[in-house]
Structure 1
Amino acid sequence: MDRLPPRIALKQLSDFLHEASIFYNTQLMDFTREHQRQGHDTSNEALRQWLWNDWTRSRDNPTRENFTSTKASITLLLRQVETAIATPWLENADLNARFEFSYRALKSSCDEIVRLSGKVMSDWQTCRFLAVELKNARVYANPEGPVLRQLFVGWEKGEPW
């Protein structure tokens, strides 16, 4: 079975997390602007919830598809990472232990993203939590970020890992 190198699989997940974070933050900002532009009472939680439900239903097809595909995309990309790391790839025990810790945090965060993405269109607060969780997960997925960078030192010089 063909599998991606861990760095590439993590980068693809990281890139998707980044794009999804931008998407959900944009949706929240657009919703808030529309809510304020129409002069709605921002302290009325029930009204805000009703407006969110109405607002998400009135989005165009590509936007609704972005809302509904997050769960499947995260699941597939995380499975791709799991396949990539199934074969031991770090020879240093300390680096391997560090990666395992980071991976558990990433998996936990992705599980929460999957859970939240299932209800994001019906609850505006869930969208806020999802936007934050997407950023958190990216910290653990990005092979060039502060958490995983030390695992891939030398890669940019043509060394395999």
Structure 2
Amino acid sequence: MVAIASLSGCTSNPTNTTTNAISSTPTPSIARLRAKPKTSEPKAISGKTVNVTLYTSDIQCQEFVPQKVTLPATTPVTNAVGKIIQEQDTADFNVSGYRVRVRNGVATVDLRLSPQSKRQFASLSSCEQFALFGSLRKTLTSNPQWKIKDVRFTERGEDIVL
């Protein structure tokens, strides 16, 4: 078993938490995301939107493919996490919500599985783990404006152990 905890450290950022919920309406292999931020996170410097690079897994689960997207400037970190999670939901694995907290350069992504999810985090294949956790980690640490150097994954506050 491997615990996914963190990668490295950075500068300090405000301590804020954001909560989102995800609908469990699967299409062929992707569920639709309905984000509903409750509080704030590190703000974008200007404008109502911000350009962000999302990193998602290639088909072979070997590399990350960058994709430029425009997200609301008020909660870009949370919205980026939501877009990655949205692509990972399937008919038997569904994340129903998540919270993102950034503190001192460490992002903690607290995930919530849907009660209807037939699979748990530990049942994900290495490719699925790469696609979900790897994409989140790469996206959060590769957008320099967020100053995130570490990423921690939890489920209801407990470290996710794989």
Looking at secondary structure, tell me which structure has more helix per residue: 1
Looking at secondary structure, tell me which structure has more strand per residue: 2
TM-score by length of 2: 0.29
- Bigger radius of gyration among the two: 1
TM-score by length of 1: 0.29
Higher relative contact order (CA 8 A, sep 6+): 1
